[in-house]
Amino acid sequence: MLTLALLASRGFWDPAKNNQPGLGGAITAGLESLPPVRNQWQLVWGPGTYRYLGSAFDSSMMFVVQHSTQPQRYAIVVRGTNPVALFDWLLGDFLGHRQVPWHTSKEDIAPGAALSLSTALGLKILLSMRAANDPGQVAEPGRFDLLLERSAATLARTRQAGGDSLAKVGEAMADSTLGSTMEKTRKLLKKILKYQQLWNATGGFTSSVGATVGELLRIEDIVSILKVRKRLISSLDRTLETQAEAPTAILMPTPEELQSQQSPGIGLLELLRNLANTHGDALELFVTGHSKGGALAPALALFLSDTQSNGEHPIPDYYQWNPEHRARIHCYAFAGPTPGNTDFARYFNRQLGRDFYRYSNGLDIVTLAWHSEQLRTAAGLYGQTAGSPPGLDLLFSEMADEVEALDYCHPGEDYPDPKGGAGRLEKHVIQFESPLQGDTSSYLLQELHQHIEAYIAFLGLDKVMSLKQLLGASKPG
């Protein structure tokens, strides 16, 4: 599953708006060439992509593949954070300060359960994506575009909320006290453009992925730009106090824009409805993701579990994708932050616990979010090997203060092994600690290694492929 999850990173640097065909070709090439998945899966839907208004790069991507010898088995793959998409850092990752109630039914089936605002927004984007698909999998298209099925009153309210909040953000940006920070923002945007130009000119790599990113996107610059975050979210918060739908209105295109710009194809729920009709109770879904995708994958898997037939609670019509059958849903999450709070984790474990596996590297900073006490240790995580740059400890402390009362918790737990002896556990939470890279003093490069390559090595995949090969920069041997 990790190979599929990281395969979703292909093409993250592509600024083209209509890049789905190229991404689809890159994913198919990986499915045909990478040893862990070679000729085992075929692309049947997607990739679907989304970028925030004003962003030069995709912020979200997802695709679906079908197993070659077990045709009832499908994997839904969610991309993680795009390292060169500034909006993805600010909105897709760093809105843990606020939570959204988990509410997939007309009844409150999970009292107290809540997602981070970032995860809730990401889930909404995934459910609203449309993409091309294998015509052989499609029956009559349904109506599953959640953005376009709201009432006129809701649309009017969310548009007004979005307009008000954007105006406030504009006022904040005009504040003279932001002058130096905004200048750093402009400089960082220039660096991203330079990075893109270099990537195109070199075919993707000068020496390695980490070195290329590290040369042009220094951790000091990232710390500077993330200082803008607090201004943005304080303005967002003022609107959120009165408008529950504001995040979608602010960050996503209007229905009119969706209708004019939307790529052809169908949405994920529509595809799954067709697959459920084809395979019935034999349908098996694997939901996986790395990094931000490691938080979105559990949220999406639980959503799909809640909204298929179970006879326990009423589901809104526009969520029903499997009303007559019961698919088995698995989830594999790698290197992700916490998607929600303790009540969410407990509810998730009750619904999907034995079908969920979470992989976590103790030296991967991403996995420390959003535990407040662990966030406070993040700046010094690498000790003398890679010292913390100025300001990073304050940034992590600020984030820790914001989430301290929100009770974030990773889902997943181990279970007694029915085939083992007394005290033997069936491991579902796989935690490890990768050795530090001693050949770099860069905090950013150390984290890039711990966040990506450490997982590849832990699972033994480094013996058959490299990160370059995963991203499509070189061919497997």
Q: Residue 59's domain spans which residues?
A: 2-471
Where residue 173 falls among pLDDT bands split at 50, 70, 90?
very low
**pTM for this predicted structure:** 0.78
Domain at 11, CATH number: 3.40.50.1820
User: At a CB cut-off of 8 Å and minimum separation 6, what does 371 contact?
Assistant: 338, 408, 409
| pLDDT value of position 440 | 81
Report pLDDT digits (tens) over 24-80. 888 898 999 999 999 999 999 989 887 654 454 566 889 999 999 999 999 999 987
| pLDDT value of position 222 | 53
Check whether 361 has a pLDDT greater than 70: yes
| pLDDT value of position 213 | 39
Average pLDDT score over the chain: 74
| pLDDT value of position 206 | 29
| pLDDT value of position 463 | 94
Amino acid at position 305, single letter:
S
Q: Are strands 328-334 and 356-361 parallel, antiparallel or unpaired?
A: parallel
Domain membership of residue 477 (yes or no) is no
Domain membership of residue 165 (yes or no) is yes
Are the beta carbons of 1 and 332 closer than 8 angstroms? yes
Domain membership of residue 303 (yes or no) is yes
| Winning range, highest mean pLDDT, from 334-343, 388-397, 433-442 | 334-343
What is d(CA 6, CA 27) in angstroms, rounded to the nearest whole number?
A: 10
What is d(CA 365, CA 382) in angstroms, rounded to the nearest whole number?
A: 10
Where residue 424 falls among pLDDT bands split at 50, 70, 90?
confident
Domain membership of residue 476 (yes or no) is no
| Winning range, highest mean pLDDT, from 30-34, 70-74, 101-105, 265-269 | 70-74
Domain membership of residue 31 (yes or no) is yes
Report pLDDT digits (tens) over 174-224. 444 444 444 544 454 444 444 444 434 433 332 333 333 344 445 455 555
Distances (CA, A) of 454 to 99, 212, 365, 385: 30, 18, 12, 16
Domain membership of residue 248 (yes or no) is yes
If you average pLDDT over residues 118-131, what whole number do you get? 83
User: At a CB cut-off of 8 Å and minimum separation 6, what does 8 contact?
Assistant: 27, 47, 61, 62, 63, 77, 78, 79, 80, 289, 290, 293
**How many domains is the chain partitioned into structurally?**
1
Higher-confidence position of 86 and 275:
275
Domain membership of residue 333 (yes or no) is yes
